[in-house]
Amino acid sequence: MAQAVGTAHLETSTGLDNRKLLMWLFLGSECLFFGSLIAAYLLYRDRSVTGPYPGDLFDIPFTSVSAFVLLMSSVSMVLALAAIQRGNVRGMQIWLFTTATLGLLFLSGQAFEFTEFNHEGLSLSTNLFGTTFFVLTGFHGAHVTIGVLILLSLFTVSLQGRIQQKDSLNIELAGLYWHFVDIVWIVIFTLVYLIQP
Amino acid sequence: MTLAEYRGRGGAEVPRDDQHVAEAAHVEKHPGPLEYAQIGSILALITGVEVAIYYLGLAHTLLVVGLMVLSATKFSMVVLWFMHLKFDHRLFSTMFILGFILALSVFTVALATVGGKLV
């Protein structure tokens, strides 16, 4: 059910909005950033000389729920965009707040997981698994945190009546960033948690 | 000098192909909420299947291949529908795919040369 939607942006020589182009360029560079971190994790995860090891710590049912929460936040994010593109400001506010809440829920889960791992004796400097795992998932968590702050900022601004249908590109850009954070977790969930040595 | 000023001074029209003209009209075809909800349901279902096959006790190679296929499917669906690459200008896809291919190359070279393994 495709529908025509309008976006307003300044005229450019390419006909494309420079902000959106820049966002895609940024996301392309982020692929390299996370690709390097994931490669480093896969290289070093089973080269630790002391434990604990991945199989001793990972709680797959718990992480599956976290993955599901982040995935559903992507759905609510795209519904926020669909709402504002159709001029439904109230709907956008509800979905933006839902997305931010799901993001916070994911972060709470990650904080709980990190605390549990720490109690089990894994820290950033315990072994190569700990170092690469915390750096990878920590950087992802930092990206989610930035995403939540962006979403809450947009939500606050929209409550002041400063986001209308013509400003839908702002929501789309935030959405692109949020979906990227989600696809990174799709990869991490599979390569780090489900596929173990 | 902005493009509008350039044109105002009688400058030549900046050449554009049909696709650019379409972009300049600011009209994009995006799915509706119902289609987004359907995609979301499929993604949730695939996640459930991923977790299920993790517990099935399959041979490791088979498990890795199955999980990689499911993960790639989820990745593609989010990028194509939620990030609108299926509907947006090809230049956006190019930006992202170049970065992705570069990342994949670094990933492959690193694993191949230093000796990491996936399976």
Is A122 domain-assigned? yes
Reported pTM: 0.87
Any B CB within 8 A of A65 CB: no
Whole-number Å distance between alpha carbons of A183 and A12: 30
Tell me the mean pLDDT in the region A167-183: 97
CATH of the domain at A184: 1.20.120.80
Specify if A36 maps to a domain.
Answer: no
**Has residue B66 got a pLDDT over 50?**
yes
Residue scoring higher pLDDT (A14 or A154): A154
Q: Render pLDDT for A83-138 as a digit per residue (tens, 0 to 9).
A: 999 999 999 999 999 999 999 999 999 999 999 999 999 999 999 999 999 999 99
Are B55 and A64 in contact by the 8 Å Cβ rule? The answer is: no
Residue of A20, A22, A26, A31 to mutate, testing the B interface (most B Cβ within 10 Å of its Cβ): A31
pLDDT at A51: 84
Which residues lie below 8 Å from residue A186, measured CB to CB, with a gap of 6+?
Answer: A67, A71, B71, B74, B75, B78
The model's confidence at residue A146, banded by pLDDT at 50, 70 and 90, is very high
Query: Nearest CA to CA, how far is A197 from chain B (Å)?
Result: 7
Residue A129 lies in a domain: yes
Q: Is A67 on the interface with B (CB under 8 A)?
A: yes
Mean residue pLDDT of chain B comes to 81
Cα separation, B77 vs B67, in Å, equals: 15
pLDDT per residue as tens digits for the range B80-108: 999 999 999 999 999 999 999 999 998 88
CA angle centred on A53, ends B110 and A136, rounded to 5°: 45
For residue A183, is it within any domain?
yes
| Chain B residues lying within 8 Å of A32, measured CB to CB | 99, 102-103, 106
pLDDT of residue B17: 47
pLDDT band with cut points at 50, 70 and 90 for residue A153: very high
Comparing B8 with A104, the larger pLDDT belongs to A104
DSSP line for A106-150: HHHHHHHHHHHHHHTT--TTT-HHHHHHHHHHHHHHHHHHHHHHH
Mean pLDDT computed over B17-24: 44
Q: Based on the structure, what is the number of domains in chain A? A: 1
Q: What are phi and psi of A69, to 5 degrees?
A: -60, -45
**What is the spatial distance between Cα A136 and Cα B34, in angstroms, rounded to a whole number?**
35
Q: Chain A: residue nearest B67 by CA?
A: A190
In chain B, whose CA is at the least distance from the CA of A77?
B82
Stretch A74-85: mean pLDDT: 97
Average pLDDT over residues B63-71: 96
Q: Do A68 and B47 touch (CB under 8 A)?
A: yes
| Owning domain of residue A95 | 61-194
Residue A84 resides in a domain: yes
In chain B, residues 30-69 whose CB comes closer than 8 Å to chain A: 30-37, 39-40, 43-44, 47, 50-51, 54, 63-64, 67-68
pLDDT for A196 equals 85
Q: What is the 8-class DSSP label of residue A49?
A: S
pLDDT of residue A47: 86
Q: Report if residue A5 sits inside a domain.
A: no
Question: What is the distance between the alpha carbons of residues B61 and B113, in angstroms, rounded to a whole number?
Answer: 21
B22 interaction partners in chain A (CB closer than 8 Å): 15
Lowest-pLDDT range of A12-21, A78-87, B94-103: A12-21
Helix residue spans in chain A (DSSP H): 18-44, 54-57, 60-85, 89-119, 128-159, 168-188
- All residues at 6 or more sequence positions from A144 whose CB lies less than 8 Å from its CB, including other chains: A70, A103, A106, A107, A110, A181
